[in-house]
Amino acid sequence: MGKNLIQQKRGKGSSTYRRHSFRAVGKARVQDRGSAIITDIVHSKLHTAPIAKVCYEDGEEGVIIAPEGVCVGQRIVIGSEAPLELGNTLPLKNLPEGSLVYNIEAQPGDGGKFVRASGGVARIVGKSLAGVIIQLPSKKRKTFNPACKASLGVAAGGGRREKPFMKAGRKHHYCKAKNKYWPKVSGAAMNAVDHPLGGKRSGRKGRPTIVPKNAPPGRKVGMLRPRHTGRNK
């Protein structure tokens, strides 16, 4: 029997769970155009961290993830010749071990892919022949190409998740702005026609998980089947 699952709704390409990209201030990517001046710091509906509008030397404008401690009118430098100062972007091979970085490139020239959320920060823990080893916010260590660039500092907006929503209405508007599926309902709480784990005809809600009679010894774990049913005679 066919069922309308939320996974199918997400995967078929409908606009219900697509992010509204037109609401974004712009594509927050660091461009290798020399130095730039921060002209404004704004909020973007699709980014958790504050966004800094910058004007490059050649007159082109762009947006980047703002680091903590910057202000309007501050000059930032992008490239291998940039000094080791807050907000500047340099190749990983030019950064010393122990440096705090964010907005790390996955491939040289992509503008930054890792550690971009508000309050995000990573640390350079070592350098080897394979590349530069960085400890990500998840405590996982990843090796990057030494030519990849990263910004010095911590992404602004830290502590955002420490403030509770307090009521469901605020969480509703927050998820609606980003077009997220909320509230999340478990499959066992649904009706039988809505999910394979739904229904409550048995004593235990959800699909039965009793081990089959002919299961091999390795599978005989969890809810074992009864030895027999009916009255003892």
Instruction: Tell me what pLDDT residue 199 has.
Output: 77
**Which DSSP state fits 29?**
-
Which one, of 209, 228, 229, lies nearest residue 220 by Cα? 209
The Cα–Cα gap between 91 and 187 comes to 47
Instruction: Tell me what pLDDT residue 77 has.
Output: 94
Instruction: Tell me what pLDDT residue 87 has.
Output: 92
The Cα–Cα gap between 180 and 178 comes to 6
The Cα–Cα gap between 87 and 78 comes to 9
pTM of structure: 0.75
The Cα–Cα gap between 201 and 220 comes to 25
Domain layout of the chain by residue ranges: 21-157
Instruction: Tell me what pLDDT residue 86 has.
Output: 92
The Cα–Cα gap between 43 and 106 comes to 25
Tokens representing 197 are: 């784990």
Q: Which residue positions in the chain have pLDDT lower than 70?
A: 1-2, 10-16, 201-209, 222, 226, 233
Q: How many CA atoms lie within 13 A of 193 on its CB side?
A: 0
Looking at 3.30.465.10, 3.30.70.270, 3.40.50.720, 2.30.30.30, the CATH number of the domain 21-157 comes to 2.30.30.30
Q: Helix, strand or coil for residue 6?
A: helix
Instruction: Tell me what pLDDT residue 55 has.
Output: 95
Q: What beta strand segments (E) does 28-120 contain?
A: 35-42, 51-56, 61-65, 75-77, 89-91, 100-102
